[in-house]
């Protein structure tokens, strides 16, 4: 029996982003010119840098009080990723800024597996960064997200990246319902991305719980794939799950197609301590090549 490949640690990030420090369940980051402090439940350790460095942050998010902005801090600004432009945005409802830098290893795989005219389905696509990376690389993407504001943000990112000529479909819909309809219509995809929340509600009030509904959704995704798929990528931030669980799911699902499965953690390194890694999510990724 061939040994299973080891669990991987994929390091993310891009030049317009820097994880400066973390600790005491918080992280100090730079998004473009703006330094921010946000809560991070996985940062159990002590910070490396002194408080004077953390005091340089222009925006601080507190779980109870929300955002506190220093004078002159913008609520929206641009970030560059390769040839694309995205909007970082501070909102009153979330600590997230619209981009997850640890996801950048996935963007490279999306680019590598692209083929002209190949169809990609991005479920739970949020602000559309993976969708725009795919479109720029040659995929023909469809993004599904239940959030109308997130989809509007994704469209704004499309305009900022000057990709309005790309044939991207933006769908505001419950992911499970949409995939079921695509199967009935005979619509098939060469690649599928899934980045489901641990918990959420669809536009019609349906409750999503990843541990209960992910196996069903994966089975639907298999039925919605072409006979020669190119990519299936699953990411989750569920702290109770493991990369081994995701790898097992994809092994069962994609066995008929051969290909290669990789599983592991997405992490960021610190500019203040390069040998310290902040784990942020787990993933499993199947590729045909």
- What local confidence, expressed as pLDDT, does residue 203 receive? 58
Per residue in 177-186, pLDDT tens?
999 999 999 9
- What local confidence, expressed as pLDDT, does residue 1 receive? 42
CA angle, residues 269, 275, 278, in degrees to nearest 5: 40
Alpha helices in the chain (DSSP H): 51-54, 104-112, 129-137, 148-160, 175-185, 210-223, 243-254
- What local confidence, expressed as pLDDT, does residue 156 receive? 98
Task: Count other C-beta atoms under 10 Å from residue 271's C-beta.
Answer: 16
Per residue in 238-260, pLDDT tens?
767 899 999 999 999 999 999 99
Domain ranges of the chain: 8-287
Q: Which residues of the chain have pLDDT under 50?
A: 1
Q: Which CATH class is domain 8-287?
A: alpha beta
The per-residue DSSP string of 78-136 comes to: EEEETTEEEEEE--SS-S--S--GGGHHHHHHHHHT--TT-EEEEET-TT-HHHHHHHH
- What local confidence, expressed as pLDDT, does residue 6 receive? 78
- What local confidence, expressed as pLDDT, does residue 240 receive? 77
């Amino acid at each position: 029996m061939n040994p299973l490949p080891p669990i991987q640690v994929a390091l993310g990030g891009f030049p317009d982003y820097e994880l400066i420090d973390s600790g005491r369940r918080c992280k100090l980051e730079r998004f473009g010119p703006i330094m921010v402090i946000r809560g991070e439940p996985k940062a159990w350790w002590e910070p490396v840098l002194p408080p004077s460095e953390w005091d340089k942050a222009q925006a601080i998010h507190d779980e109870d009080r929300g955002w506190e902005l220093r004078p002159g801090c913008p609520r929206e600004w641009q970030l560059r990723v390769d040839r694309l432009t995205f909007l970082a945005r501070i909102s009153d409802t979330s600590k997230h800024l619209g981009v997850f830098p640890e996801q950048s290893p996935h963007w490279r795989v999306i680019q590598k597996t692209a083929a002209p005219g190949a169809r990609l389905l991005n479920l739970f696509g949020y602000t559309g960064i993976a969708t725009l990376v795919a479109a720029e690389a040659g995929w023909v993407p469809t993004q599904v997200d239940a959030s109308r504001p997130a989809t509007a943000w994704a469209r704004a990112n499309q305009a900022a990246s000057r990709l309005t000529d790309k044939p991207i479909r933006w769908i505001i819909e419950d992911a499970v319902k949409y995939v079921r309809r695509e199967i009935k219509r005979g619509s098939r995809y060469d690649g599928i991305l899934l980045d489901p929340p641990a918990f959420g509600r669809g536009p019609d009030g349906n409750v999503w719980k990843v541990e209960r509904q992910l196996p069903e959704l994966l089975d639907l995704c298999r039925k919605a794939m072409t006979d020669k798929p190119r990519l299936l990528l699953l990411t989750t931030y569920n702290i109770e799950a493991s990369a081994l669980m995701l790898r097992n799911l994809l092994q069962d699902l994609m066995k008929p197609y051969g290909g290669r499965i990789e599983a592991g953690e997405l992490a960021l390194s610190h500019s203040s301590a390069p040998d310290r890694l902040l784990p942020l999510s787990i993933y499993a990724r199947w590729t045909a090549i």
